[in-house]
Every structure is written in structure tokens, then in C-alpha cells.
Structure 1
Amino acid sequence: MHKDFHYSSIFADLISVYIQSRREAGFMFDNPAYWLFRFDQFCKARQIDKIEITKELYDSWSAKQLSESKTTQSNRLQALRCFCIHLNAIGIPSYIPTQLPRPEKTVPYLMSDEDIREFFKQVDLYESAAPVKAFERLATEYKVLFRLIYCCGLRNNEACALRLTDVNTDSGTLTIIHSKGNKDRIIYLSDDVCQLCTEYKQWLKKELSDTYGWFFPGKYPDKCIPKTSVDRKFNEFWNSTQTSRKCDKKPTVHCLRHAFVIKRINLWMESDTSLRMMMPYLSNYLGHKGPMESYYYYHLVQDAFNTVRRKDTITSRVIPEVQHEE
């Protein structure tokens, strides 16, 4: 399910063809599609009538907005830069900048076990106050969706786009189709998560006579639940926890996937399981390019240092304790 935009400037057809080609190559391309839509509207408002992206046009579009972060500006300009490269490749002269603003480095919030417990307590307490049948149904869907993201390390969009046929409770597997990098993969469910999915499937069949094949149908069942709705609900549940009042950084839905990786690696380290042997399996499970991409999730984790200290039997022999003389 891609987000489609209506382009209407002189670049409309070129942008549409470009986005379609990138998606056919296996990229989701929703974020660049949005920024090119904004550029399209920018050109339309200024009545640009020549199919050429000059340095002047690029510079006027690239100016940093007052409320815009460096990361957002970088993403916006990266989308246009790639489009400019495409235009040059098909014979349309366009300015290509050599440098872009550097995005800000952000350290994600690392959810602890207590954070996870508090979060799911709020999820389970939630009941829709709106007298709309669809919202009552979604209250139940959120309970399953967030658990699936956390227990299986899914990306938000992967969970939202699941179809009923992708969830095989007989074999205890999820099939992820055309995910990031156009990768497909099979995820094996633990017994309790498989049971949860089985009961949920039975409930959904009674709740909706026609789900249009979605495992998590949205307000209108012919479409899956939107990623943006899940983001918004996550914030609502998190803001209801006690922990949210004490932390200075706000987590996102992706932090549940992050927490899954941290928990899995910690358990392996505690049980003396070889990470060198297991990380390739975890990498495939997560849909990563390789183990190093998975290790990224483990940086700055205090539990890692505590575990390493407990397992370290060499340092004390190599670096002896300093004896202070009186």
C-alpha cells in the first residue's frame, strides 16, 4: 500500500514516471514521493513553465524553513537531488548539488522492560469513547498489533500491511512481502503469539464478514490500518504512562522493534550463546542486510555493559587493580 499524490505542475508526468520506476525496483519510496509532491506544489505556485531544474530554482526550494529540522531539510533536498540525477539521465538538464545539509544525529530512546510493561498496560486499558463500531474494533486491533510489532521485531508498515493470508497460524509463521529493500522473509511465531493470532483471527471473522483480506483493517475495512494512525495511538498510550512524565526523550513505534533486538541479544549473552553464530539468523529475521545493521540497534545499551562486565574474566588479570599507598 503506497501513498499516492496528485502531481499537477509542469514536472507532474516526469515525477510520476520516476516514482513508479523506483517502486518497481523494490523501494517503498513514500517519503520521497511526499517531498516531490511538495516540490511539485512549489513549482505550480510559482508558475514554473520550463522543464528544467536550474540552480536558482533548486536554491529557492532548498532554503531552510523556520520550523524545519536539519534532518527534515536533508530528506527534502535528497529527494529532489535524486530526481535531478534522473532528469539528467534522460536528457533533461538539471542542477545537481554536490553537498547536502547533514542530518542531525539522534539517539533513540531505549525502552526498558518496565517501560514495555507500562506501555502495554495502557494499551490493554484502552476502550474507544466514540460511539462508532469501527473504533471499538480498532481498540482490540491495537492490542494485537503492538504485541506483534514488539514480539516479532516488525517495522510499523510491515505490521499494518499484513494480509490474512500472510499470517499462517497452522505453521506459526508470518510472511512479510516486499518490505524495505524489496525483501521478503518468513518470521516464526512463539507459541503464545501464535495463539494470540489464532484467537484474533477468529474474533475478526465474527466482527467483520468481509475484511478485504487485511489482518489489521482500518476504520474503512477495504484499506489496512494506516501507519500514521498507529504512530498517533502509540504516542497516546505512551503519554498515559508514568514513565513518560519522567523521561526527556519520546520513543516511537520503532522503539518496540529496537527493544525486541536488545532483549534478544541480552538473553543470548546471559546464556553464553555465541552471538557470532546467532546474529546472521537475527539479521535475516529482522530483514536487515547483514549482522552489522542489526548490531546498530544494540549501541548505547546499559544492559550490554553490565552483561559484559559479568562475563569478563580477563580484564582483572591483564589490568591489575591499583593499590593506593598510605
Structure 2
Amino acid sequence: MISFTSAFAPQIEAMLNWRESLGYSRTTWIYPLLSFDRFCTARHPGEAILTRDLATEWCREGTRVDYPAYKAHAIRAFGTYLRLAGADAFVLPAEWISPRSPKLPHLFTDDELTAFFAATDCVPHSALSPFREYTLPVLFRLILGCGLRPQEARLLRREEVSLDSAILTIERSKRNKDRRVPVGDDLTGLLERFDQLAELRAPGREYFFEQRPGKPYPGRWVWASYQRCRVLAGGIAPGSSPYTLRHNYATRTLTKWIEQGRDLNRPGIVGGHDLTEE
């Protein structure tokens, strides 16, 4: 359970709850704001007003780059919320944030995917991360095979995985939308074998991929594990992330549609259509 301790704690919690009520995920800003909260507790324990000096000092902390984007966007969002709530607060100007350079996601070749999943299958046992050698091959195949967002896969509850009907139920995902995702036969068989093994390890578990009782694997663990497998596969796709697997699902699905002769210019075939429903 994440808790905030600075003088801004009630306002941070209120902001996260407000965003969640609008359909946004708490995880978008929770970790940068937790960093800000701890910074304030350690450096400015009595400060209760978001001033320009406080915001910019935190943005510059621990980096050689002025206003790194992930911090700057978070503190700008927090300042904007405080203003909306009627509080006196500094709002970091958007002009101070360096724009993100457009970057196309890496498109894996078949050989790269073969190498990547061979690496996931060879991840050794670790006392610090037990069961990872069984989890990673299934987790990453699920993300690619069903086009799931990484957080959707890692937060799947066991009750949301219907192996009998080969359907995943994704609840309260982006913008609080629910959807149902079909699973192919091969992947369903893999999920069934993993489920049986995971139940022997932790009977009655809540999450399909469970790190410890009642707790899913954290996002940073998934990211670090992806990077480990990427390096083991020969350093393929530098700069990519687990989300790249979802992008590859979408790209391969569109390619399949083109090969099938579908008209991608027809309204609704792509725009407004979730590719993960195919």
C-alpha cells in the first residue's frame, strides 16, 4: 500500500482519486508524485504550497537535464489540479518541457522474436524472484499473442481468465473501459499448464501472475525482466520496452488484414476499433 507523508499528502491523494473517477489510471502519476512527496518530506517538511522554487528544485534533483519530462509533466499536472481545487500553486509552463522526439516502435523480425522467446525460456531460477522462470515465458507470450498492454497482463485476476471459453476479460483498462479478448488455442494450452503449476505453488491465488499472496508483479519488475531477456537474446531492439510487444501485435494484425484484402480506409476498421479484439 503506497502512502504519502509530506504536507501535500492529502492533495496528492485527492488528485489521484479525482483522476481515477474520470477514468484515468492512478499509476500514471503515482510514482513520480511519490518521489515528489518523499523529496518534500526529506528536504522541505514544512512546505505546504507548491512554489516555483519547490517544483523546479525537485525536477532538477538527481539529473543533469533541466526539467526531465516525466517529472515535469507530473508536477505540471499536480499544479494544475491544485489551481482547479482553489489552492495557490505554481503551474510549470508547458514551454519548459522538452517535447518528446517522435519515435517509431521497433518492429521485431521473426528471427528476433524467436531469439527473444528462447531467452525467456532460459531465464534461470532466482531466490530473489522465485517462479520467474515459469512466469516470464507465459507473460510475454500473452502480451504479444493477445496484444495486451503490459499492465493489463500483469494485473489479470485469475477469475478474469476463462480457459474453458478461451476469453480474457480486461476490466477498467484505459479510460475505464472493459473488453473481452479471445485467446488462440496454442496460447490457451500454455495458460492452462501455467495455471495448474501456479496453483500448486499458491492455491487459491487472486492474480493469474502473482508475485506473492494477493500481490501482482510490479510494473518495474516486468520492465526489468523484459530488458534482461532482450539482452540475453543478443541485445535486440535497444530502447524498446514490454509495450513494444503490443505494438508488434497491432502491426502484424494490420498486415494480416491487408493480406486478407480488407479495406483499411473503411470507417471503423481501424479508427475507434481496438485491435486487441481481433
C-alpha distance in structure 2 between counterparts of 1:27 and 1:44, whole Å:
27
Q: Does 1:225 align with 2:217?
A: yes
1:104 aligns to what?
A: 100
Alignment deviations for residues 201-229 of structure 1 (CA, whole Å, 9 cap, x no partner): 23333333232x211111x2321122222
Q: TM-score, normalised by structure 1?
A: 0.75
Alignment of 1:131-170 (within 5 A): 135=130, 137-170=131-164
Whether the 8 Å contact between 1:187 and 1:285 is mirrored in structure 2 is no
Query: 197, 201, 211: which is aligned to 2:195?
Result: 201
What secondary structure, in the 3-state scheme, does the structure 2 residue paired with 1:274 have?
A: coil
What secondary structure, in the 3-state scheme, does the structure 2 residue paired with 1:107 have?
A: coil
Paired amino acid for 2:89: S
What secondary structure, in the 3-state scheme, does the structure 2 residue paired with 1:275 have?
A: coil
Structure 1 residues 171 and 250 mapped into 2: Cα distance closer, same or farther (>3 Å)? Answer: same
Whether the 8 Å contact between 1:32 and 1:76 is mirrored in structure 2 is no
Structure 1 residues 142 and 268 mapped into 2: Cα distance closer, same or farther (>3 Å)? Answer: same
Paired amino acid for 1:21: W
What secondary structure, in the 3-state scheme, does the structure 1 residue paired with 2:227 have?
A: helix
Q: Tell me the number of residue pairs that the alignment of Structure 1 and Structure 2 aligns.
A: 274
Displacement of 1:241 after TM fit? Answer: 1.6
Structure 1 residues 160 and 131 mapped into 2: Cα distance closer, same or farther (>3 Å)? Answer: closer
Listed as ranges, the gaps of 5+ residues in structure 2 are none
Query: What's the Cα RMSD here?
Result: 2.6
Listed as ranges, the gaps of 5+ residues in structure 1 are 288-326
Structure 1 residues 190 and 26 mapped into 2: Cα distance closer, same or farther (>3 Å)? Answer: same
Q: TM-score, normalised by structure 2?
A: 0.87
Structure 1 residues 206 and 12 mapped into 2: Cα distance closer, same or farther (>3 Å)? Answer: closer
Q: Does 1:249 align with 2:229?
A: no
Which deviates further from its counterpart, 148-157 or 40-49?
Answer: 40-49
1:284 aligns to what?
A: 274
Whether the 8 Å contact between 1:231 and 1:253 is mirrored in structure 2 is yes
What secondary structure, in the 3-state scheme, does the structure 1 residue paired with 2:180 have?
A: strand
2:232 aligns to what?
A: 240
2:36 aligns to what?
A: 39
Whether the 8 Å contact between 1:152 and 1:187 is mirrored in structure 2 is yes
Whether the 8 Å contact between 1:153 and 1:256 is mirrored in structure 2 is yes
Displacement of 1:145 after TM fit? Answer: 1.1
What secondary structure, in the 3-state scheme, does the structure 1 residue paired with 2:142 have?
A: helix
C-alpha distance in structure 2 between counterparts of 1:161 and 1:108, whole Å:
24
2:262 aligns to what?
A: 273
Paired amino acid for 2:85: I
Structure with the bigger RCO (C-alpha within 8 Å, sep 6+) is: 2
C-alpha distance in structure 1 between counterparts of 2:121 and 2:41, whole Å:
47
Between the aligned residues of both structures, percent identity stands at 26
Query: 73, 84, 87: which is aligned to 1:78?
Result: 73
Structure 1 residues 39 and 205 mapped into 2: Cα distance closer, same or farther (>3 Å)? Answer: closer
